[in-house]
């Protein structure tokens, strides 16, 4: 009961805060935040927006099989954020875009524009719903099962909460509520870390020495080029992951486009770039300390790496306080991710698909419709109740971001005019060809693609667009 009260109180804080920061109820406020957001609030809130509930659970357990090598990818993220700040943001601001996919219309044509927007809508709806589904399962286990509340009630209830505090202010609301959610997420991480150190009777210096001495403290992998943990592969892949899944994702870019000026947007992105890596490092430190706690208590370490933190909370190793803050942390990360996805989906449908950016009624109806579709997708995932299905969905969504990389790369750096009507076929065939190549490479050469699969996918899309293009130069729209 106490945990449920905490959850309801948390939502009450969000709703009250959103009421005073989103009362205008206009499309300019909902889509663009009146282009008046303080850059430092956007930067801080982006930490929570980038860390979904799955990240909160999974990253501590990653050290069980890959040590701390994920930090190599995080270093690549820093490079990626600088590319977004100094290459993409100037273009988006120069063209005064509400959605980033509008740039494809300016440079490539209407069909390419719709293709990019549709790829985002489909992949974001399915991917975000899959992530939210995993979090709903966790909340169902730790909160709602105690009251015999069925899952098909839990999901619409949580989505209704998100819909309520985003329905009027949209992105303007999220810039402010993300600050709250990031604060609670970081507070939860700190409390759980303290709980583990208390169980181990460690001081901060004891914890530091334990982490440094651990066999899981390895960060860099230079020796094996075939390994997915190879430094150069992770560094380059990390940079392109950010370029695609932040810079070419309306969900992640919409908040950044609410800053007053391009200069402030750059400051926001660069500040956030350096904040993201230390936060992920703390999650991995938590993982190493949890392994140490399990070992010292004689508790079997779970086989599945993403069960490490959940198991520590479930078996009471860390106590009630850690359980409460675990729920708060999960909710903070999940809500921050799902609410921005819901807002971005609404924006893209209204602005890009319907091209009615000033229609308030359409925006309200679309926002409600997306919340319903979100809930239905989660319930469908639960109906099949298959971990392999969820894994397949994440892989599929990863493939759908490749064509966006190819489209934007061609639009920004290409100097040829694309045959616009062929773009949908290129965008659909590229992921298929990418999958075939990855399977053949694994079978013939034993090389398994990791994150660099995104680069191959984008390259195939770029090549396809080049084939269906002419020498005619289009108008330059570079920033």
Report yes or no on 26 lying in a domain. Answer: yes
Note the pLDDT tens digit of each residue in 325-360: 888 888 888 888 899 999 999 999 999 999 999 999
Domain count, the chain: 1
pLDDT for position 459: 92
What are the pLDDT tens digits along the chain (479 aa)? 677 888 888 888 888 877 776 556 789 989 998 898 999 999 999 888 887 777 778 889 889 888 999 999 999 999 999 999 999 999 999 999 999 999 999 999 999 999 999 999 998 998 888 889 888 888 888 888 888 899 999 999 999 999 998 888 889 889 988 898 899 999 999 999 999 999 999 999 999 999 999 999 999 988 877 777 888 888 988 898 899 889 999 998 999 999 999 999 999 999 999 988 999 999 999 999 999 999 988 888 887 777 888 888 888 888 888 888 888 888 888 888 899 999 999 999 999 999 999 999 999 999 999 999 999 999 998 888 765 555 666 567 678 888 999 999 999 998 889 999 999 999 999 999 998 998 898 888 877 776 678 888 999 999 999 999 988 654 444 44
Query: In the numeric block, which tokens belong to residue 200?
Result: 């181990």
Boundaries of domain holding 116 = 2-386
pLDDT for position 257: 94
pLDDT for position 476: 47
Report yes or no on 470 lying in a domain. Answer: no
Q: pTM of the prediction? A: 0.89
Asked if residue 361 lies in contact with residue 26, where contact means CB atoms within 8 angstroms, the answer is no
pLDDT for position 451: 67
Cross-strand partners of 417: 470
pLDDT for position 11: 86
Report yes or no on 57 lying in a domain. Answer: yes
Report yes or no on 431 lying in a domain. Answer: no
Report yes or no on 56 lying in a domain. Answer: yes
Tell me how many degrees the CA angle 442-445-449 measures, rounded to the nearest 5. Answer: 40
pLDDT for position 24: 63
Asked if residue 52 lies in contact with residue 204, where contact means CB atoms within 8 angstroms, the answer is no
Report yes or no on 427 lying in a domain. Answer: no
Nearest Cα neighbor of 333 from 3, 8, 92, 48 is 48
Classified as helix, coil or strand, 101 is: coil
Report yes or no on 273 lying in a domain. Answer: yes
pLDDT for position 475: 47
391 C-beta neighbours (distance < 10 Å), count: 11
Angstrom distance (rounded) from CA 416 to CA 470 = 6
Report yes or no on 276 lying in a domain. Answer: yes
Burial 199-212 (b: 16+ CB within 10 A, else e): bbebeeeebeebbe
Angstrom distance (rounded) from CA 256 to CA 248 = 12
Where residue 230 sits, what CATH number does that domain have? 1.20.1730.10
Q: How far is CA 339 from the centre of its chain?
A: 11
Angstrom distance (rounded) from CA 17 to CA 183 = 14
């Amino acid at each position: 009961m106490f945990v449920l009260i905490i959850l309801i109180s948390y939502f009450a804080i969000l709703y009250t805060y959103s009421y005073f920061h989103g009362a205008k109820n206009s499309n300019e406020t909902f889509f663009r935040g009146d282009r008046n957001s303080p850059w430092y609030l956007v930067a801080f809130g982006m930490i929570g927006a980038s860390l979904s509930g799955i990240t909160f659970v999974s990253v501590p357990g990653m050290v069980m099989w890959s040590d701390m090598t994920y930090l190599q990818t995080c270093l690549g993220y820093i490079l990626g954020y600088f590319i977004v700040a100094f290459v993409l943001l100037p273009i988006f601001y120069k063209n005064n875009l509400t959605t980033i996919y509008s740039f494809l219309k300016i440079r490539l044509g209407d069909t390419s524009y719709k293709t990019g927007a549709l790829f985002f809508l489909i992949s974001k709806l399915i991917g975000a719903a899959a992530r939210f589904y995993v979090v709903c399962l966790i909340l169902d286990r730790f909160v709602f099962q105690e009251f015999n509340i069925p899952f098909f009630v839990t999901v619409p209830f949580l989505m209704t909460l998100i819909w309520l505090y985003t329905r009027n202010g949209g992105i303007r609301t999220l810039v402010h509520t993300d600050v709250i959610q990031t604060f609670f997420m970081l507070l939860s991480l700190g409390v759980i870390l303290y709980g583990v150190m208390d169980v181990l009777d460690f001081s901060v210096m004891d914890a530091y020495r334990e982490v440094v001495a651990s066999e899981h403290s390895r960060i860099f992998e230079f020796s094996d080029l075939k390994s997915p943990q190879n430094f150069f592969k992770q560094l380059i892949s990390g940079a392109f992951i950010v370029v695609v899944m932040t810079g070419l994702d309306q969900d992640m870019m919409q908040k950044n486009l609410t800053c007053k000026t391009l200069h402030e947007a750059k400051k926001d992105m660069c500040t956030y770039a350096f904040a993201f890596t230390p936060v992920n490092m703390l999650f991995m430190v938590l993982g190493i300390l949890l392994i140490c706690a399990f070992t010292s208590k004689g508790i079997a370490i779970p086989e599945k790496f993403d069960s490490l933190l959940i198991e520590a909370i479930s078996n009471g190793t860390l106590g009630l306080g850690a359980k409460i803050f675990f729920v708060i942390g999960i909710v903070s990360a999940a809500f921050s991710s799902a609410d921005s996805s819901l807002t971005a989906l609404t924006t893209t449908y209204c602005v890009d698909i319907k091209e009615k950016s000033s229609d308030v009624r359409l925006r309200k109806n679309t926002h409600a419709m997306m919340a319903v579709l979100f809930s239905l997708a989660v319930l469908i995932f639960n109906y099949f109740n298959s971990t392999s299905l969820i894994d397949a969905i994440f892989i599929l969504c990863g493939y759908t971001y490749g064509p966006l990389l190819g489209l934007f790369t061609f639009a920004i750096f290409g100097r040829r005019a694309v045959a616009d009507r062929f773009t949908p076929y290129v965008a659909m065939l590229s992921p298929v060809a990418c999958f075939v190549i990855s399977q053949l490479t694994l079978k013939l050469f034993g090389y398994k693609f990791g994150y660099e699969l995104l680069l191959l996918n984008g390259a195939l899309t770029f090549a396809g667009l080049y084939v269906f293009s002419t020498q005619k130069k289009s108008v330059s729209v570079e920033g």
